Structure 1
Amino acid sequence: MATTTPLTGGCLCQKITYRVDLPPTEPAPKIILCHCTSCKRYTGSAFSSNLIVPAAALVFTTDTPKLYLGHSDRGPPVRRQFCADCGTPFTSQPGDNDEIIILKTGTLDEASRVRCGEVGLAIWGRSKEAWLDQIGRVRCLETSMG
């Protein structure tokens, strides 16, 4: 029987780690960028970088994240999971769909990030920050400024 290496990840403090067991016949999921106001506030960024995976495929392996029940720009409530110690956001799950979970790509380990390195879609473009279009023209340093 064919097997695949699971996607793995964790929070900033590494108290909570996880794996995503996808069927071996499925390709790595493509990244979905969300520009909705709710995701921007949740991630503290200009957009949220996500993977949509089957909810049953996500297994937290070292601890359990804290749950926050919030809202979404789309309407239904959203269940959000995060590390109570370091604040890292892990997931969002629409209240009207228990079959999927939206995983934040910044929590993926490096090898898993490389496997899921293709953007497939951007949503909530009407809420997109106008300055994001300038990113390709900005000088990019290989490390920090200091």
Structure 2
Amino acid sequence: MATSTLTGGCLCNKITYQIENATPKIAICHCNTCKRHTGSGFSTNMIVPKPFFKYTSGTPKIFLDTSGDSGQEVPKHFCGDCGTALNVQPNDKPIIVVRAGTINERDELDLAMEIFHQRKDKFVDQIGQVPALPGMP
């Protein structure tokens, strides 16, 4: 798959970013920390080398969390105005975990893997087996 430049930002567009040399592969994470951080049954993420990511406008707020498996401090970046979870920047790894829902070019993304699969909520397996509505009922 070719690499490209991707852009993204928060819901209110006060914080925007750019990812250079992006390989548009997504990892779904079923860890309990990601579930709580996103308020969902899992998080969808693009894992990016730190040098390839830069904010192009705005400054995120940072919540310092140590609830991950490593016990290391994990800064979670979010918009202080609209609350959008933007990314996680583990201090002990050379990566940024970008929340895929904040990427503008989501049609270019492909699923590559699921991690912490043993923690997957049972209802996730029911996706595709229940009524699919075009909008809110």
1:1-146 alignment, distance < 5 Å: 5-22=4-21, 28-75=23-70, 76-97=72-93, 99-109=94-104, 112-116=105-109, 118-145=110-137
**What runs of 5+ residues in structure 2 fail to find an aligned partner?**
none
Contact 2:27/2:44, CA 8 A, preserved across alignment = yes
**What runs of 5+ residues in structure 1 fail to find an aligned partner?**
none
- State how far apart, in whole Å, the 1-side matches of 2:67 and 2:31 are: 8
Shift of 1:130: 0.6
Structure ranking higher in strand proportion: 2
User: After the TM superposition, which segments of 4 or more aligned residues of structure 1 sit over 4 Å from their partners?
Assistant: none
- State how far apart, in whole Å, the 1-side matches of 2:66 and 2:42 are: 16
Using the aligned pairs only, state the percent identity.
44
Q: What whole-Å deviation, never above 9, does each CA across 1:79-131 have from its counterpart, x for those lacking one? A: 1100001110111122211x21100000011xx11111x11110111211011
Q: What one-letter code is carried by the residue in structure 2 that aligns with 1:90?
A: L
Shift of 1:20: 0.6
Q: What one-letter code is carried by the residue in structure 2 that aligns with 1:113?
A: R
Q: With structure 1 as the length reference, what TM-score do the two structures score?
A: 0.86
Shift of 1:5: 4.7
- State how far apart, in whole Å, the 1-side matches of 2:67 and 2:106 are: 26
Kindly report the root-mean-square deviation, in angstroms, between the aligned alpha carbons of the 2 structures: 1.4
